[in-house]
Structure 1
Amino acid sequence: MGSSPSLPAWEIRDLTDSTGFSSEQIEILHRRFLHLTDGKTTMCKSCFDNIPDLECNPIKSRIVNAFFDTRNLGQQSNGSVEDITFENFLTTLSFFQHMDDNHTKEDLEYGKNEKLKFLFHMYDTNGDGKITLEELREIIDELLSKTSTTEKTSSSIADAAMLEAATICEGQVEPDQLYEGINFEDFLKIMQDIKIESKMHVRFLNMDTTAICK
């Protein structure tokens, strides 16, 4: 296709304020967006099939669905949308921004909380506010899908992980004690020592879009 249309300066400023990306990063991502959508102003899920880095990811479908999850797009209701705009695309990508010690303590804490909220939504697939044992088993099955691990083994891993989560959040529990699920407050406790603010990021910004966007 021809040269990619540029975003107006006022829109870039607004997107910089709302997402934290620099104007240069936004322009790069806008070219990437237009390449993926073949020049269209909205993106559907099939557009993500053009991203090679996602192809071998065992949780590709969860990552793609996250871009269409209304919880990640600032909407109050649970559910998903059929298509997203560039602003929606950028909003979801902002959860993956790398954060380092140059940020203030408050910004790092906020960034970590937002990343964990995003991650929690990927586990809580039905949007009921908690990660159930069944949902935990599903994602472990996906993560182990490219190995020879049996379904029984992945189920055992999920059972052990849920028992550990219950112990962390509610104190000592028995193996046969019913634990309804992990809510977001529990999830924060479980993940409190994980430096998710610096680990959870994507490679979009490192990609050279010059050749593919001409």
Structure 2
Amino acid sequence: MVGTGMGAKNGILIKGGRALEASRSIRRIVLDKTGTVTEGKLTVVAATWAPSHDYNDLYAHADGGTSSLDDVPLTAKCADGVSRAEVIAMVASTEARSEHPLAKAVAVYGKDMLAKSLLPIRRFKGKHTIYVGNSRFVLQSNDTQLPSALSSFDSEEETMGRTAIFVSVSPAGAVKPVPVLAIALSDAPRPSSVHAIRALQAMGIEVNMMTGDGRALRLLLPSP
């Protein structure tokens, strides 16, 4: 009982004495990433749009550069005549309904951008479907590739341990969604994480991190 009481004081919940006794034989521990290893306070740090010529052929490689959300007018058009401001509005509205930290960060960023732009946004009334998530989800296909501008952005952000999500727009009656936007988010490790992980490793316990993000995020875990 003393052990469970001390654990509770330190934010560790132990389900009874049997679980505490069994902990002596633990050889591997798997940690959740967001909000456990990290602060869980995600922020949007970068974004890029697919060049307009990619909209005509999703299998073609882009031969131009990328553009950030800040240096291109939000009035510029994306797929099927939808403006970038309208895409941001749909994304912010969609993500605002989710409790996930990624969604919250994107929703807040989108709303801030629209507030600064002062652009009127028309309602779509079901004319378009928007997809927000990983590449497979936004493509709604296993045999279609992202435009190279978005895939290159994803690779660059992954090397920095950031999380990238994508946005595609599917007009009514379209055969497949059109990827138009990639957004990168950052979440800092908790200062205490490195000490806790090294303490576990010193006890001979293998520490793993469970995450749906890129492999580069393994750098969050210190070497034994």
Normalised TM-score (structure 1): 0.26
Larger strand fraction of residues = 2
Which has the higher relative contact order, 1 or 2, with Cα contacts under 8 A spaced 6 or more apart?
A: 2
Normalised TM-score (structure 2): 0.25
Larger helix fraction of residues = 1
The structure number with the bigger radius of gyration is 2
